[in-house]
Amino acid sequence: MPSKDRDRQTLRGFLGMVQEHYPRDFLRIAETVDSRLVPTAIVFELERQGRDPVVVFDRLDGKSMPCVTNIAASRTLLAACLGVPPAELPTAFRERCQTYIPCETVTDPAWDEVVIEGEAVDLALLPIPYQFTVDAAPYITAGQLTARDPETGVDTTGFHRLMLKGRNRLGVSLHSRRRMYEFHRRAEARGQALPVAITIGIHPLHYMGSMVYAYPPNVRKFEIIGGLFGEPYRLARCGVGDLEVPAGAEMIIEGEILPDVREPEGPFGEFTGYASFRSTQNVFVAHRIRMRRDAMFHSVTSGMSKDHILVSCITREGEILNALRRNLPNVKAVHVPHSTCGAFVAIVSMKKTAEGEPQMAIMAALGTELYTKYVIVVDDDVDIFDINDVFWAIATRVRAEKDIVLIPGVKGAILDPSSDPTDFTLTKMGIDATRPAGRDFAERLVIGDEDRARARAILERAGLQA
């Protein structure tokens, strides 16, 4: 297979695409940078300026291994990975992640050039940023854990925060309480450790595919990722638990999550914008590191950065849209704003044909996504990507006594600081911000596209550039 084709599914293939086609969205910092707090501050300062470039730090703390971050902070770049305009990103994601393509197993993984094992394993040698002052330690944030169900043998992959505790020891929280949590519970019930491989340095489409939660139990996440690529995802067998991991990854860490061992993990600056002390307090022990000879370290900027949250927005938009359109084909689009932690608010656009449809959409959306706790339904004349327009609809089209529904005692996200700390339940809410059907309603003031274009042309001639 030609080198360029082999790179198509890799982090460095993505970086090459950005440098070639989107050079303004690629930033390399060549000077030596302190890994403590500075990389995080740089990414958030770029966001404050309205910029979301991929950032490569050549030398964190003087270490020679580059650190790549902010690969998933731009809708434009994520859409480019799927070959669609940014506006079509959620729909394209929704359609492609429902196509499961069997994987291809190869024998020449890129990460098998350097092998470090036994006493030589020292995770502190990696350029791991320390991101927030509240963090208990430096965290590996872009580590994709891969493990198999001890009962069925089906594997899964996904992000879990990994706290540096020693040269070969990581604290891990399986707080999503989904498949990985269940795999460990089943292994622990047998008195066994759970074999795990941590993959570092992946393509953004792997990042996106790993965030899909609604799929049949016999399907591999890697088959979903293959659907996003439109071709079999290339995997290779590593040296722990007969696990397969992406062949083009920068590095893998082989080890196990211990049974019946709990140690303090956290706090950590989570996607909620708060320090999170909630954790399942599991422990991972590393036995071996395999990496490319010129490996790059990948880190996700944590907290409420777009790098941390944007993929969650898109995957939730796609999954909620998929659920709604089964019974409501008149649903136009779904938006999960980054500013709502990429999780807690979903805005649904529909062309309402009858009363009761917004309420159906509210129930379906809340039943689809555990983390979503507020659903706002608006008419299709409202721009769901403009929060000002959404609030205008709420302000002018909602009658609270009939259009707001509260559902108490619902399971919420364990990391949501507003959920009950004992059982993680809370009250969820739906808001119908659509016009009433079947009767006249106030006519909205609009400015047509042609008039807007004429106005822009006049302003440009006056010296005011858009």
What count of other Cβ atoms lies within 10 Å of the Cβ of residue 140?
Answer: 24
Residue in the block written with tokens 């950032």: 55
Same domain as 248, residue 218: yes
Same domain as 164, residue 77: yes
Position 1 confidence tier, pLDDT thresholds 50, 70, 90: very low
CATH number at residue 352: 3.40.1670.10
Burial 52-85 (b: 16+ CB within 10 A, else e): bbbbbbebbeebebbbbbbbbbbbebbbbbbebe
Q: Are 321 and 90 in contact (CB under 8 A)?
A: yes
Same domain as 253, residue 340: no
Q: Report pLDDT for 466.
A: 63
The span from the CA of 285 to the CA of 165, in Å, is 10
Residue at 448 is within a domain: no
Same domain as 300, residue 369: no
| The two three-digit tokens of residue 69, written as one number | 């971050």
Angle, helix 306-325 to helix 89-96, in steps of 10 degrees: 70
Residue at 23 is within a domain: yes
The span from the CA of 299 to the CA of 60, in Å, is 12
Last residue of a domain, one of 247, 275, 306: 306
| Residues of the domain holding 45 | 3-306
Quick check: 2 pLDDT over 80?
no
Residue at 315 is within a domain: no
* Total domains present in the chain: 2
Angle, helix 89-96 to helix 221-229, in steps of 10 degrees: 130
| The two three-digit tokens of residue 395, written as one number | 């302000």
Measured over all CA atoms, what is the biggest interatomic distance in the chain, rounded to whole angstroms? Answer: 76
What residues pair up with 36 in beta bridges, in sequence order? 130
pLDDT in tens, 165-208: 999 999 999 977 789 999 999 999 999 999 999 999 999 999 99
Quick check: 3 pLDDT over 60?
no
Same domain as 125, residue 53: yes
The span from the CA of 319 to the CA of 311, in Å, is 12
Residue at 33 is within a domain: yes
Q: Report pLDDT for 336.
A: 95
Residue 435 is classified by DSSP as: P
pLDDT in tens, 223-277: 999 999 999 999 999 988 889 999 999 999 999 999 999 999 999 999 888 998 9
Last residue of a domain, one of 274, 306, 338: 306
For 3, the enclosing helix (H) or strand (E) is: helix 3-7
| The two three-digit tokens of residue 86, written as one number | 């940014």
Q: Report pLDDT for 177.
A: 74
The span from the CA of 42 to the CA of 266, in Å, is 23
Q: Report pLDDT for 6.
A: 66
The span from the CA of 433 to the CA of 347, in Å, is 10
The span from the CA of 292 to the CA of 113, in Å, is 5
Same domain as 191, residue 255: yes
Same domain as 367, residue 292: no
pLDDT in tens, 32-42: 999 999 999 99
| The two three-digit tokens of residue 282, written as one number | 């599991």
pLDDT in tens, 307-334: 999 998 998 998 899 899 989 999 999 9
Q: Are 188 and 259 in contact (CB under 8 A)?
A: yes
Residue at 449 is within a domain: no
Residue at 392 is within a domain: yes
The span from the CA of 350 to the CA of 292, in Å, is 49
Distances (CA, A) of 371 to 188, 272, 295, 342, 378: 27, 11, 35, 9, 21
Same domain as 147, residue 248: yes
CATH number at residue 301: 2.30.110.10
For 256, the enclosing helix (H) or strand (E) is: strand 251-257
Q: Which of 220, 197, 224, 199 is nearest to 209 (CA)?
A: 224
Same domain as 366, residue 394: yes
Quick check: 71 pLDDT over 90?
yes
Last residue of a domain, one of 255, 277, 306: 306
The span from the CA of 240 to the CA of 289, in Å, is 11
Same domain as 162, residue 23: yes
Q: What percent of the chain has pLDDT over 70?
A: 98
pLDDT in tens, 449-458: 999 999 999 9
Q: Report pLDDT for 464.
A: 83
Find the mean pLDDT for residues 267-294.
94
Same domain as 50, residue 81: yes
Q: Report pLDDT for 75.
A: 94
The span from the CA of 108 to the CA of 98, in Å, is 29
Quick check: 24 pLDDT over 90?
yes
Position 435 confidence tier, pLDDT thresholds 50, 70, 90: very high
**Which residue has better confidence, 252 or 368?**
252
Beta-carbon contacts of 366 under 8 Å, excluding residues fewer than 6 positions away, are 372, 373, 375, 407, 410, 428, 430
The span from the CA of 61 to the CA of 286, in Å, is 23
| Mean per-residue pLDDT of the chain | 93
The span from the CA of 254 to the CA of 198, in Å, is 6
Find the mean pLDDT for residues 51-70.
95
Residue at 74 is within a domain: yes
Q: Are 164 and 140 in contact (CB under 8 A)?
A: yes
The identity of residue 205, as a single letter, is L
Beta-carbon contacts of 214 under 8 Å, excluding residues fewer than 6 positions away, are 319, 322, 323, 368
What count of other Cβ atoms lies within 10 Å of the Cβ of residue 95?
Answer: 15
Q: Are 243 and 148 in contact (CB under 8 A)?
A: yes
Same domain as 263, residue 330: no
Q: Please tell me whether residue 374 adopts helix, strand or coil conformation.
A: strand
Residue at 440 is within a domain: no
The span from the CA of 146 to the CA of 254, in Å, is 10
Quick check: 284 pLDDT over 90?
yes
Q: Report pLDDT for 87.
A: 87
